[in-house]
Amino acid sequence: MAKKVAVIGAGVSGLVSLKCCVDEGLEPTCFERTEDIGGLWRFKENVEDGRASIYQSVISNTSKEMSCFSDFPMPEDFPNFLHNSKLLEYFRIFAREFDLLKYIQFQTTVLSVRKHPDFSSSGQWEVVTESNGKKQSAVFDAVMVCSGHHILPHIPLDSFPGIEKFKGQYFHSRQYKHPEGFEGKHILVIGLGNSASDIAVELSKKAAQVFISTRHGSWVMSRISEDGYPWDMVLHTRFISMFRNVLSRFKIIRKWMMEQQMNRWFDHANYGLQPQNKHLMKEPVVNDDLPSRILYGAIKVKSRVIELTETSAIFEDGTVEEDIDVIVFATGYTFSFPFLEESVVKVKDNTVSLYKYMFPPHLEKSTLACIGFIQPLGSIFPTVELQARWATRVFKGLCTLPSEKTMMADTIKRNEKRIDLFGKSQSQTLQTDYIDYLDELASEIGAKPDLLSLLLKDPKLAVKLYFGPCNSYQYRLTGPGQWKGARSAIVTQKKRILKPLKTRALTTSSTLLVSFLLKILGLLAISVAFFFQLQF
């Protein structure tokens, strides 16, 4: 009989977990507390308890070819960076294509997940849910926790003495929806993450003045990279990853590399944005407008706030900004698992002890996995997909986890490495590198491409895999869940990137001809000049 799996949440992580369960012949039931799929990506005008809340203008900061699931490219005509409504559309097409909706019980909240009395032998869980005020209990062979980690606001009022006196309005970025209503105001945005930057930029088009206060600074990148390609297609290649891994063992070289790369667009020191610890690979801000809004004076970058008064903010460098009307705390999130006992998963200081960010190491049976409790340096979508592919194979007994001792040792070591690479900040507690982590997950299920053997069999593809973008299709070339379309998807991705940009027909043939003729003329001119030089 197929094993029954409870999937908690129908956001991206939940949807892809459902598909992986079906692919592995498991029998999933997904519980979603709201009335629809999409999780964070389903914008609503009102803020809902227990669900992530975004502003109307959110656009993905990872590109479509790097964010799609491995056997399901996004439609060709989709833009490269997607408005939240477009990304939701992709998830809807995905759910329809793989017929996933029939497994979801909407408006059903998971209240508790407890070990079944015979857990040590069966590995089963008792899941209690509530729907329309009615509680129900059911037993499952395995559980996939896909409840998201951008739900609970982190709003550190203790770090802002005087906030109780402040007479203006203040709220967390989770509450922010539109710039309307902020016309002519003086606004202070706290933090320099992606939320702070997006919100500051948007508000600066309506407000009288926006200030952004940062304690540690941040690197800021554009979505547009070399030759106009999306940043993640250029930076997330195996070649660059290997190069960085070798060199970044030395902090001084890592720092130098980061500075060279990040300051290519503009000098962060001149804009007041420069990170305090330049060697850290802390998640960068991806924002095309922030530097220009600073150049226009519409946004002013300030240091840490040390005190607030009724109407003003006093900063670490002694400067004061008066007449502040609004403070937006874009200070990130904390997370919890209210339906799980602490003995199963314990969150302390925004960190959890999970083997490879997924499995509680001390369970007698590996039948519970957390999917999506991670912040990779690239797109989370292919990441959660590989997590779900591995988890479902563990549940089936096709993959086994090492001993508790080995898992604990790995978790401790991984945490130390994380702090070394990304720092101790609260916003970095779930941070991981990208390609290394994807490869690690793929190795667990035997889906990591073998570049050496590929070099002999299909050198063109091997070169693309090494020097080209490390997209999710790479993990469908081999092993379980192989997809026949993977090679073609890799070879044709440039077409899908350029397709939405081809909105104006250009007579490329004539320009090519002109440039060819000019080159010939240039060569002739050089030859003639050379001839005359020899004569005289």
Ligand X SMILES: NC(=O)c1ccc[n+]([C@@H]2O[C@H](COP(=O)([O-])OP(=O)(O)OC[C@H]3O[C@@H](n4cnc5c(N)ncnc54)[C@H](OP(=O)(O)O)[C@@H]3O)[C@@H](O)[C@H]2O)c1
Ligand Y SMILES: Cc1cc2nc3c(=O)[nH]c(=O)nc-3n(C[C@H](O)[C@H](O)[C@H](O)COP(=O)(O)OP(=O)(O)OC[C@H]3O[C@@H](n4cnc5c(N)ncnc54)[C@H](O)[C@@H]3O)c2cc1C
Residue numbers at the binding site for ligand X (CB under 6 A):
58-61, 150, 156, 159, 173, 190-196, 198, 215-216, 283, 330-332, 375, 425-427
Contact partner, 426, from ligand X, ligand Y, none, Cβ < 5-8 Å per class? ligand X
Spatial CA neighbour of 207 closest among 298, 303, 272, 270: 298
The C-alpha atoms of residue 328 and residue 186 are separated, in whole angstroms, by 11
In the bound state with ligand Y, the residue whose beta carbon lies nearer, of 89 and 307, is: 89
The CB-of-179 to ligand X minimum distance in angstroms stands at 15
Contact partner, 429, from ligand Y, ligand X, none, Cβ < 5-8 Å per class? none
Query: What DSSP element (H or E) covers 452?
Result: helix 451-457
Contact partner, 283, from ligand Y, ligand X, none, Cβ < 5-8 Å per class? ligand X
The CB-of-402 to ligand Y minimum distance in angstroms stands at 26
Q: Is 513 helix (H, G, I), strand (E, B) or coil?
A: helix
Contact partner, 438, from ligand X, ligand Y, none, Cβ < 5-8 Å per class? none
- Of 21, 146, 273, 345, the one binding ligand Y (CB under 6 A) is 146
Dump the DSSP string for 157-179: GGGSTTTTT--SEEEEGGG---S
104 pairs with which residues across the strands?
30
The CB-of-383 to ligand Y minimum distance in angstroms stands at 8
In the bound state with ligand X, the residue whose beta carbon lies nearer, of 192 and 401, is: 192
Q: Is 479 helix (H, G, I), strand (E, B) or coil?
A: coil
In the bound state with ligand X, the residue whose beta carbon lies nearer, of 264 and 424, is: 424
Tokens of 116: 């079944």
The CB-of-125 to ligand Y minimum distance in angstroms stands at 14
Q: Is 274 in the site for ligand Y (CB under 6 A)?
A: no
In the bound state with ligand Y, the residue whose beta carbon lies nearer, of 196 and 461, is: 196
The C-alpha atoms of residue 107 and residue 209 are separated, in whole angstroms, by 42
The C-alpha atoms of residue 536 and residue 528 are separated, in whole angstroms, by 13
For the chain, the residue count is 536
Q: Is 150 in the site for ligand Y (CB under 6 A)?
A: yes
Contact partner, 427, from ligand X, ligand Y, none, Cβ < 5-8 Å per class? ligand X
The CB-of-69 to ligand X minimum distance in angstroms stands at 18
The CB-of-398 to ligand Y minimum distance in angstroms stands at 24
In the bound state with ligand Y, the residue whose beta carbon lies nearer, of 36 and 440, is: 36
In the bound state with ligand X, the residue whose beta carbon lies nearer, of 177 and 215, is: 215
The C-alpha atoms of residue 238 and residue 357 are separated, in whole angstroms, by 22
Q: Interface residues for ligand Y in 377-396 (CB under 6 A)?
A: 379-381
Strands 305-308 and 313-315: antiparallel
Rounded to 5 degrees, φ, ψ at 449 are -65, 140
Q: Is 491 in the site for ligand Y (CB under 6 A)?
A: no
The CB-of-129 to ligand Y minimum distance in angstroms stands at 7
The C-alpha atoms of residue 337 and residue 315 are separated, in whole angstroms, by 36
Please answer whether residues 342 and 398 qualify as being in contact, where contact means their C-beta atoms are separated by less than 8 angstroms.
no
Rounded to 5 degrees, φ, ψ at 66 are -95, -5
The CB-of-132 to ligand Y minimum distance in angstroms stands at 14
Contact window for ligand Y (CB under 6 A) among 7-15, 70-78, 238-246, 398-406: 7-15
The CB-of-507 to ligand Y minimum distance in angstroms stands at 36
Q: Interface residues for ligand Y in 41-60 (CB under 6 A)?
A: 41, 50-52, 54, 58, 60
Contact partner, 41, from ligand X, ligand Y, none, Cβ < 5-8 Å per class? ligand Y
Rounded to 5 degrees, φ, ψ at 520 are -60, -45
- 216-249 exposure pattern, b = at least 16 Cβ within 10 A, e = fewer: ebbbbbbbebeeebbbbbbbbbbeebeebeeebe
CA angle (329 as vertex; 324, 330 as ends), nearest 5: 125
Question: Binders of ligand Y: how many residues, by CB under 6 A?
Answer: 34
432 pairs with which residues across the strands?
376
Contact window for ligand Y (CB under 6 A) among 33-41, 155-163, 236-244, 441-449: 33-41
In the bound state with ligand Y, the residue whose beta carbon lies nearer, of 328 and 461, is: 328
Contact partner, 10, from ligand X, ligand Y, none, Cβ < 5-8 Å per class? ligand Y
Strands 142-145 and 368-370: parallel
Contact partner, 190, from ligand Y, ligand X, none, Cβ < 5-8 Å per class? ligand X
The CB-of-155 to ligand X minimum distance in angstroms stands at 9
Q: Interface residues for ligand Y in 57-116 (CB under 6 A)?
A: 58, 60-62, 109-110
Q: How far is CA 108 from CA 5, 124, 140, 335, in A?
A: 16, 21, 16, 20
In the bound state with ligand X, the residue whose beta carbon lies nearer, of 94 and 219, is: 219
The CB-of-108 to ligand Y minimum distance in angstroms stands at 6
Gap between the terminal Cα atoms of the chain: 94
Contact partner, 109, from ligand X, ligand Y, none, Cβ < 5-8 Å per class? ligand Y
CA angle (308 as vertex; 304, 312 as ends), nearest 5: 100
Q: Looking at this protein, which amino acid is placed at residue 228?
A: G
The CB-of-123 to ligand Y minimum distance in angstroms stands at 21
The C-alpha atoms of residue 148 and residue 13 are separated, in whole angstroms, by 8
Contacts with ligand Y by CB under 6 A lie at 8-14, 31-34, 39-41, 50-52, 54, 58, 60-62, 109-110, 146-148, 150, 195, 339, 372, 379-381
